Amino acid sequence: MIAASNVLLDRYPTLNERLPWVSLGVERTPLTTHEVAGREIIVKRDDLAAEPYGGNKVRKLEFLLARARAEGATRIVTAGAMGSHHALATTIYGRRLGFDVTTLLFPQHRTDHVREVLLCIADAGADLRFLQRMEMVPYGMWRTRRTHGDQTYLVPPGGSDPVGTLGYVAAALELDGQIGGGTEPDAIYVAAGTLGTAAGIALGLALAGRAIPVRAVRITSRLVTNRRVLRRLLQGTAALLERAGVGVGDAARRAEEGLVILDDQVGPGYGHETHAVAAATERFAEVGITLDPTYTAKAAAAVLAASDSRPLFWHTLSATMPPVRAMPALPAAFAQYLES
């Protein structure tokens, strides 16, 4: 079933004429309650957001790919680590809408999960480009755009710019409609890399008049995940809404005040498993929820380590992976990465 509307656009109808949006099939995702390690935990099931591939990136792409289409782009360029679910989602849905998709990928700690995601990206039809390290992303994206010309649209890593962040402003408004008196969580925990998901949730809650704390669980370097990036996203997204005719008042300030970046689950770094990650993965698997070691298991570990009586875990990993139809022929640098 294809969703025909978006809760942000439904709440502020004037946005329909001013903010491009395309349905990628995102439905309202359920809230479920589970007893995990002896505690009651609410789960926002964005793992079930869409088919054939869910997770948090699809909500962002409904705004990003619509903007690309409105600007007349024919090629999408994005970047991420080798096991980037953002790169996978962008490839799947970008190709579905008729775009060529170039993904610039840099090495990360190798795991079976990373290998699976990389093969899925290749099989989905991405034009793969190898970057030696994360710091090369800005230059790589600029160079790719220069090569392919003005009909290229740059989607930032993680889909985290003001346009993409709108997807999680909408998601927070969706949550607002799902919780009533007496059912509001004490705090919301969500994995945080490029911070667009957490920023959107916090801003959407502020627009809804809710003061639920948001705990953004850092999973990568502070160079990526920090208060300066958060403030820029909040202010930029609020300004985008203001220009489109939505009076947001001091929502960006209230959102920033209500969001804390937690640093205690990152472990040795991006994609590295810890004992807490392994334990969280096992505990959540007992109630039928699958986590990944890079993002969601670290956020889940933060939930289990906290003392909130009604925590909400925002699940951002897709519940399904697209099947690899045939072993794709990888460019030499990628094949060498998997074999080394």
Q: Is 297 helix (H, G, I), strand (E, B) or coil?
A: helix
What's the mean per-residue pLDDT of the chain?
Answer: 95
Q: Which pLDDT tens digit goes with each residue over 49-78? A: 999 999 999 999 999 999 999 999 999 999
Q: Is the pLDDT of residue 323 over 90?
A: no
User: Does residue 121 surpass a pLDDT of 60?
Assistant: yes
Could you tell me which of 284, 278, 306 has the C-alpha nearest to residue 217? 306
Q: How remote is the C-alpha of 254 from its chain's centroid?
A: 22
Does residue 182 have a pLDDT over 80? no
Tell me the C-alpha distance between 119 and 314, whole Å: 26
The answer to whether the beta carbons of residues 173 and 167 sit under 8 Å apart is no
CB hemisphere CA count around 291 (13 angstroms): 29
C-alpha span between 139 and 115 (Å, rounded)? 25
Does pLDDT of 1 surpass 80?
Answer: no
Share of the chain above pLDDT 70, in %: 98
pLDDT surpasses 80 at 201: yes
Q: What is the pLDDT of residue 5?
A: 81
Fold entry, domain 7-57+160-315: Rossmann fold (3.40.50)
Straight-line distance from the first to the last Cα atom of the chain, in angstroms, rounded to the nearest whole number:
43
- Give the pLDDT score at 4: 62
List of residues 6+ apart from 312 with CB closer than 8 A: 31, 41, 42, 43, 44, 185, 187, 188, 189, 212
pLDDT of 165 > 90? The answer is: yes
| CA distances in angstroms from 241 to 140, 153, 249, 265, listed in the order given | 30, 21, 11, 33
Q: Is pTM, for the whole model, over 0.85? A: yes
Calpha distance 25→295 (Å, rounded): 23
Higher confidence at residue 241 or residue 325?
241
Taking the C-alpha atoms of residue 141 and residue 138, their distance in angstroms, rounded to an integer, is 5
Q: Where in the chain is the domain with CATH 3.40.50.1100?
A: 7-57+160-315, 61-159
Give per-residue pLDDT as tens, 86-107: 999 999 999 999 999 999 999 9
Q: How confident is the model at residue 329 (pLDDT cuts 50, 70, 90)?
A: confident
Q: Give the pLDDT score at 3.
A: 55
Calculate helix-pair angle for 296-305, 275-285, nearest 10 degrees: 90
258-294 per-position pLDDT tens digit: 999 999 999 999 999 999 999 999 999 999 999 999 9
Report the topology of domain 61-159: Rossmann fold (3.40.50)
